[in-house]
Homo-oligomer: A and B are copies of this chain.
């Protein structure tokens, strides 16, 4: 049974339950086909299996501030578990209080993305994870120094040796990347109201959220925001007031990519404000209006906007329960 089949089962259930009420089950079934429930795990790369030892090591490294120049900034500083695994400020604040150019994306469900960073400059979490350690406005530490610091701890010597038993020199940047990426692939948020709705729990979304779901499809939002994480991981240009960031162009040098950014996931969008590449939009109503104007060339009426925002709230899933590791 593939996830694609589940909406149909849900529709049958809907028809049985709702009968001839105001909600037309068969009609909704067509809409539901545009969506997929979020799996509990994203695709696992063949060269980075998910074992508990590696995941636990990745969790330690994710919370480890000693691999930053200041000694107080870790991945978890900007990807803060208390704040939807992001920071809820406009643009990231890193080493020595420097402010980066872009808004911190959430780590939640990032294993479902086809490319990492706003500009997609890394294909996967393994590639992404080493970036912020080295960025001078983030953790500001060379990988050589980071590895040296980790090697000073017996606990890390043991954990790396256990996680990478065939590696003669296990404390290496590549293994840091593999571990952090393996941990991040556990940070998923299944069972949102949408997911439960798609699986047949017809009460999981309100009528307004169902209306929003239909509008989301009919207006064309779903053209880019699709798949389990509601992103096609593709790049689109648009004009964000207050931003001069050339986005994907800085990666490809292709004029076509100027001001283009990767479609962000809409999973947990209600708890991962503010929005867009520079975090300049604070609330979902404004974000939806901006997207309507820029990507769809239309305006939503106030009740339509409200319905779509209500639907976006139905994308908030169960947060992963992560224990803070005891670091050496």
Chain A residues proximal to chain B, CB less than 8 Å: 63-66, 70-72, 77-78, 80-83, 87-89, 93, 95-97, 319, 321-327
Contact = CB atoms under 8 A, between A and B. Distances in A.
A95 B98 CA distance: 10
A80 B77 CA distance: 11
Contact of A82 (B87, B321, B327): B327
Contact of A87 (B65, B78, B93, B325): B65
A80 B327 CA distance: 10
B322 A82 contact: no
Contacts of A78: 72
A77 B70 CA distance: 12
A134 to B, nearest CB: 17
A87 B97 CA distance: 18
A88 B70 contact: no
Contact of A72 (B63, B93, B327): B93
A229 to B, nearest CB: 20
Nearest to A323: B321
Copies of this chain per assembly = 2
Contacts of A63: 82
17 contacts: A63-B82, A64-B82, A65-B87, A66-B88, A66-B89, A70-B97, A71-B88, A71-B89, A72-B93, A81-B324, A82-B325, A82-B327, A96-B96, A96-B97, A97-B97, A319-B326, A321-B323
Contact of A97 (B95, B323, B325, B327): B95
Nearest to A324: B81
Q: Which has the most chain B C-beta neighbours within 10 Å: A63, A80, A324?
A: A324
A97 B93 CA distance: 11
Given A322-B324, A324-B322, A324-B324, A93 B71 contact: yes
Most B-side CB within 10 Å, residue of A72, A89, A327: A72
Given A96-B96, A96-B97, A324-B324, A72 B77 contact: yes
B93 A70 contact: yes
A96 B73 CA distance: 12
Contact of A65 (B80, B319, B324): B80
Contacts of A324: 81-82, 322, 324
A102 to B, nearest CB: 15
A72 B96 contact: no
A275 to B, nearest CB: 16
